[in-house]
Structure 1
Amino acid sequence: MFSETAGRNAEVSWLVSSRVSGGKFARSILDLIGETPLVRITAEGGRPVVVAKAEFANPTGSHKDRIYACMIEEAERRGNLKPGKVIIEGSTGNAGTACAMIGGLKGYRVIIVMPEGMSDERKKLIRAMGAEIIFTPGGESDQDLSLRRIEAMVAEEPDRYWYPCQFDNPDNPLAHYRSTAPELWEQTRGNIDVFLAAVGSGGTLTGVGRYLKERRPGIKLYAVEPEECPTLSSRRWGPHDIQGIGDGFVPANLALDLVDGVITVSSQEAIGKSRRVCREQGLVVGISTGCNLAAAAKLARRHPSLGVIATMLFDTGHKYYSSPLFGVHKSVEVPERDHRLDDLSVRQLDKYAPGWEIIT
């Protein structure tokens, strides 16, 4: 009996290894990050044409898998992240899930610090990946409180933690420069007039935008932000329901010198667009994706002569069952405090914002 089982196992082992070597099997779930499809959003014959990268096809269902694979692997290569270190990161959901999955697979303990007002699905997924969660007050636009908590913990025990800090880690935009952008360029054969993306960490717009502009300087880049929290266009803070973007500050990873314009989208516009694209095209996407698509529609109305507008389907809508996207509203206590922009952000906005087109 034992020899028969061993023989079958050997046969299966040979079959798998031979197929893997032939490129038919992924050796690891990490091999499935990237190479996402490009989806046409506009109806046939519609102008401008809107296309979007289906980032929900990544293992944890969002584009954040790309950046954590890159940030963690680069930190290991440099010797900054070693066995025994604890990875601690701030997130409002997608980043935390990606960090938990990739960090856990590599054998690290992972702690995610996040605002308590985020969707239940995000929290459950992060815990399912084996990570711990520390909650801070507020919602999406109170992410700065999570970051302060992390900074205090790291300052107290600097040898214990490795802090990726997606908002200012240059390996974040590098991930998109190396993978997302070349994929998009190849899929469109370079036929892009505008790339737009909602701003969370700033890595997507910066990484993709830099790559595209190096190849065709005439390509325009538009940052997208919540109408209720127009930090870039109006330097104002406010709570909103577009989870994953609009954190109430200008991230260091957002290269303002690359930006040509800013488009604001309200929470209701974003939610409505997510619902509509699900109904009309079968794409179950999150609220930040609805924000991108609503922004693309606004840009198309403002500039109907454009040829191709490219954007991102950031994540799957399956992470939002307990959110306003599915009609669930919960009260989030937002702490009262001063929301002043830092001096560097003010100087950068003073320098670049006057040249931007603002679309509301």
Structure 2
Amino acid sequence: MDKNLQMRVYDSVIDAIGWTPIIKMKQIFSDNNVYLKSEFLNPGGSIKDRVGVYMLQEAEKQGIITPGQYIIEPSSGNTGVGLALMCALRGYKLIITMPDKMSKEKIQGLKAFGAEVIICPTAIEPEDPRSYYRMAETIAKEKNGWVPNQYFNQDNPQAHYLTTGPEIWEQTEGKVTHFVCSVGTGGTITGVGRYLKEENPNVQIIGADAVGSILKEAHEHPEHKYNPANVSTYLTEGIGEDFIPDTLDMDVVDKFYTVTDEEAFLTTREVVRKEGLLIGGSGGAAVHVVKQISKNLKNDDVVVVITPDGSQKYYSKIFNDDWMKEKGFLH
């Protein structure tokens, strides 16, 4: 068998996770070296395949869980799919709690794996018992299940420290100067940022935050106390928070930029139509940040931007003209 072909033969779907290609964005950034790491090409369609599988693998190694047990996780959808991959192979029962702003494609995708999905209100405080965070804890107690809790589980950033970061370093031959990604749990920016900073402390680690989230303000003014009731709602999925996750190391991040829903969604559509890359909304937010910094880039700078998931999960929203017009994003 040809060696290159042999390398593409895997024992299970888990082995196909990672080593996603980086693709130069020549149309939008013709004057810069900007590469998009296409995490939507993972088997479950997102970067969260890495996290979901790694958290369960480590829990199994430590004897925390055994097949047949309930796994319950609060998720915007993508981590749920990563967990669902592993649960399907290992025989776990999966329950995902989700905020009500998530796309129907994400919900149906989870159900396709056999997961139970419970929808919770978005516009409430994290401590409210109806929130998708607290609902997961309640169900775990009722079912005697385990909550991986991607917002506090350090295996989340560790998965990226061990895989995503080294991949980017090798794929750019150590030439990466800027890393940009949208931030939710903070696992990606923390894990990748730690690895790249160890290799080269001068690499700039840049986060995209949603308007309405507190992450940018918390990074710039860590002495402030934040009232979750003052956080405004937004529609971009998988980005921003109304609290600071334990998995987000603010010291790794050099700078945050905020992005509106309209900026994120219009940039997402632009990337698909100009670059042929089927990215999702949080990827559009990150690319919008690259646009903001591009005017200050040097000729030899190399930017890697993460797209966490793909367009297929947003056909009913971002790529639906009627929905975009209804929300005021298309005129």
The interval holding the TM-score normalised by the smaller chain is: 0.7 to 0.9
- Taking the aligned partners of 1:91 and 1:27, their CA distance within structure 2 comes to 28
The 1-side partners of 2:114 and 2:29 are apart by 47
Structure 2 CA distance, aligned partners of 1:45 and 1:239? 31
CA RMSD, Structure 1 to Structure 2 (Å)? 2.7
Structure 1 residue aligned with 2:251: 257
Is 1:279 equivalent to 2:279 in the alignment? no
Residues 328 and 34 of structure 1, relative CA distance in 2, 3 Å threshold: farther
State the one-letter code of the partner of 2:290: A
User: Aligned to 2:30, which of 37, 46, 58?
Assistant: 46
Q: 1:56 to 1:249 in 2, by over 3 A?
A: same
Write the distance in 1 (CA, Å) between the matches of 2:75 and 2:322: 21
* 1:149 pairs with 2:135: yes
Residue 44 to residue 90, structure 1, CA distance change in 2 (3 Å)? closer
Please tell me the residue identity of whatever aligns with 2:257: I
- What does residue 151 of structure 2 align with? 167
Per the TM alignment, residue 230 of structure 1 is displaced from its structure 2 partner at its CA by: 4.2
Out of 85-94 and 236-245, give the one that drifted further.
Answer: 236-245
Residue of structure 2 in register with 1:296 after alignment: 290
Structure 1 position 285, deviation (Å): 1.0
Change (3 A) 1:45 1:233: closer
Q: Runs (4+) of structure 1 moved beyond 6 Å? A: 18-21, 139-144
Letter in 2 for 1:162: W
Question: How far did 1:197 drift?
Answer: 1.1
Inter-partner Cα distance in structure 2 for 1:20 and 1:261: 40
Is 1:205 matched with 2:189?
Answer: yes
Equivalent residue runs for 1:10-159 within 5 Å: 22-43=6-27, 46-138=30-122, 145-156=131-142
Native 8 Å contact 1:196 1:223 kept in 2: yes
Identify if the C-alpha distance between structure 1 residues 214 and 141 changes in structure 2 by more than 3 Å, giving closer, same or farther.
farther
Q: Structure 1: which amino acid aligns with 2:80?
A: G
The Cα of 1:90 is off from its aligned counterpart by 0.6
TM-score with structure 1 setting the length: 0.80
- Could you list the per-position Cα deviations for residues 220-250 of structure 1 after superposition, in whole angstroms to 9, with x for gaps in the alignment? 1112101233433276621112111113222
Amino acid of the structure 2 residue aligned with 1:275? R
Q: Secondary structure at the match of 1:195?
A: strand
What CA distance in whole angstroms lies between the structure 1 residues aligned with 2:207 and 2:272?
A: 24
Greater percentage in helix: 1
1:200-235 superposed Cα distances (whole Å, 9 cap, x missing partner): 111000000000000101111112101233433276
Q: Relative to 1, partners in 2 of residues 1:306 and 1:240: Cα closer, same or farther, differing over 3 Å?
A: farther
Task: Tell whether the 8 Å contact from 1:287 to 1:325 is kept in structure 2 after alignment.
Answer: no
TM-score when scaled to structure 2? Answer: 0.87
- Verify the 8 A CA contact 2:53 2:85 in the aligned structure 1: no
| Structure 2 residue runs without a partner (length 5+) | 219-225
Q: Is the 2:76–2:98 contact (alpha carbons within 8 Å) kept by the matching residues of 1?
A: yes
Structure 2 vs 1, CA of residues 194 and 140 (structure 1 numbering), >3 Å: closer, same or farther? farther
Distance 1:181 1:140 in 2: 34
Number of aligned residue pairs: give it. Answer: 314
Tell me the SS of whatever aligns to 1:208: helix
Q: Within 5 A, what are the aligned runs for 1:182-221?
A: 182-221=166-205
CA distance in 2, matches of 1:49, 1:140: 41
Give the 3-state SS of the residue equivalent to 1:177 in structure 2.
helix
* Deviation at residue 104 of structure 1 after TM alignment: 1.8
Match of 1:323?
A: 317
Determine whether 1:232 maps to 2:216.
yes
Deviates more, 1:300-309 or 1:258-267: 300-309
Which amino acid is the alignment partner of residue 309 of structure 1?
V
- The code of the aligned residue for 1:287 comes to G
CA distance in 2, matches of 1:271, 1:136: 24
Could you tell me which residue of structure 2 aligns to residue 177 of structure 1?
161
Find the aligned partners of 1:301 and 1:42 in 2 and give their Cα distance. 15
Report the residue type matching 1:82 in the other structure.
T
Question: Which letter maps to 1:326?
Answer: N
Higher alpha-carbon Rg? 1
Secondary structure (helix, strand or coil) at the match of 2:288 reads helix
Aligned to 2:222: none
Structure 2 vs 1, CA of residues 137 and 256 (structure 1 numbering), >3 Å: closer, same or farther? same
CA displacement at 1:154 relative to structure 2: 2.9
Which deviates the most, 319-328 or 197-206?
319-328
Q: 1:23 to 1:308 in 2, by over 3 A?
A: closer
